[in-house]
């Protein structure tokens, strides 16, 4: 079975992430989204909340699952039985970072391949960090994230001290 992991912070999942996930789900028999269980710094949603938002956003994709993970992505890939790591590439900074990380991952796990999918131009400018910034300034983000995420963001931002 061809299995891929798609690791990231997903704080929160956006339509850009969902586009990559949907396309990866056509290339692999199973895709496991790995929500990085990162230390709290700069993270708006807890790991549990991020996993939950991903779960709700991928409910219509039968061959996609979600799990949280700590440590190396290549170890998470091994644990999931995956041969491939999927990442999304936006123009600019993503390339340098992905290239560097791919070389390191290749060193750590030579049998693990990286597949980068080029972003849909519609979501080129979309990052979770910019999304959180504009959402905190009351921007309407309905076209940038799944419905449940938009609602969760509104709630989170308004509950903030």
Residue 3 vs 89, nearer CB to ligand ADP = 89
> At its nearest, how many Å lie between ligand ADP and the CB of residue 8?
2
Q: Which of residues 64-83 bind ligand ADP (CB under 6 A)?
A: none
Answer for which of 10, 28, 45, 76 binds ligand ADP (CB under 6 A) is 10
Cα dist. 108→4, 57, 72, 102, 111 in Å? 17, 32, 9, 10, 9
Q: Which residues have C-beta within 8 Å of that of residue 90, sequence separation ≥ 6?
A: 16, 119, 123, 124, 127
β-pair partners for 118: 89
Residue 22 vs 83, nearer CB to ligand ADP = 22
SS3 category, 3? strand
> At its nearest, how many Å lie between ligand ADP and the CB of residue 10?
5
- Do residues 109 and 47 lie in contact, with contact meaning Cβ atoms separated by under 8 Å? no
Is 17 annotated in the active site? yes
Which residues of the shown chain bind ligand ADP in the complex (CB under 6 A)?
8-10, 14, 16-17, 20, 87-88, 90, 94, 119, 123, 126-129
């Amino acid at each position: 079975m061809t299995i891929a992991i798609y690791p990231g912070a997903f704080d929160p999942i956006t339509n850009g992430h969902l586009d990559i996930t949907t396309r990866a789900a056509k290339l692999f028999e199973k895709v496991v989204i790995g929500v990085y269980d990162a230390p709290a710094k700069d993270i708006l949603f807890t790991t549990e909340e991020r996993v939950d938002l991903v779960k709700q956003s991928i409910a219509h994709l039968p061959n996609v699952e979600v799990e949280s993970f700590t440590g190396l992505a290549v170890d998470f890939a091994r644990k999931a039985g995956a041969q491939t790591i999927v990442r999304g590439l936006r123009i600019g900074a993503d390339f340098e970072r992905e290239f560097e990380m791919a070389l390191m991952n290749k060193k750590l796990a030579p049998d693990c391949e990286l597949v980068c999918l080029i972003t849909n131009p519609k979501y080129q400018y979309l990052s979770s960090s910019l999304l959180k910034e504009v959402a905190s300034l009351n921007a309407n983000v309905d076209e940038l994230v799944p419905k449940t995420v938009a609602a969760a963001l509104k709630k989170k931002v308004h509950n903030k001290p």
